Amino acid sequence: QVQLVESGGGVVQPGGSLRLSCAASGFTFSSYGMHWVRQAPGKGLEWVAFIRYDGSNKYYADSVKGRFTISRDNSKNTLYLQMNSLRAEDTAVYYCAKDPGWHWGQGTLVTVSS
């Protein structure tokens, strides 16, 4: 069965960086686009970024464009989110999801605080 496991969350100071990973199994990872979605504490769901199956195209929410980079390693069945210049408003649980969205990971918490 499809399994997505995020890791890499933690506490980071404003202006800092963090890299999230999403390990995929149970499906042909290299055939599917992948998304990152986040949820701030007590708030709704916010789409963050998408990468096509082969990494050829990437799309970002305006709120993270220029600071976050989505990437993938199909040889390792792993999705990444490099987060730079982090702000307090980036504090959230970050989920990876397989396109078109039926399968999500359990999430990893990122806290940006001094």
Partner 1 sequence: DIQMTQSPSSLSASVGDRVTITCRASQGISNYLAWFQQKPGKAPKSLIYAASSLQSGVPSKFSGSGSGTDFTLTISSLQPEDFATYYCQQYNSYRWTFGQGTKVEIK
Residues found near partner 1 in the complex (CB under 8 A): 33, 35, 37, 44-47, 50, 59, 61, 95, 99-107
Nearer to partner 1 by Cβ, of 7 and 17: the residue is 7
**Got the DSSP string for 34-96?**
EEEEEE-TTS-EEEEEEE-TTSS-EEE-TTTTTTEEEEEETTTTEEEEEE-S--GGG-EEEEE
Taking the complex as a whole, the smallest distance from the CB of residue 56 to partner 1 amounts, in Å, to 12
* Rounded-to-integer distance, Cα 2 and Cα 104, Å: 9
Taking the complex as a whole, the smallest distance from the CB of residue 107 to partner 1 amounts, in Å, to 6
Nearer to partner 1 by Cβ, of 102 and 114: the residue is 102
Question: Using an 8 Å Cβ cutoff, are 114 and 13 in contact?
Answer: yes
Taking the complex as a whole, the smallest distance from the CB of residue 103 to partner 1 amounts, in Å, to 8
Nearer to partner 1 by Cβ, of 38 and 112: the residue is 38
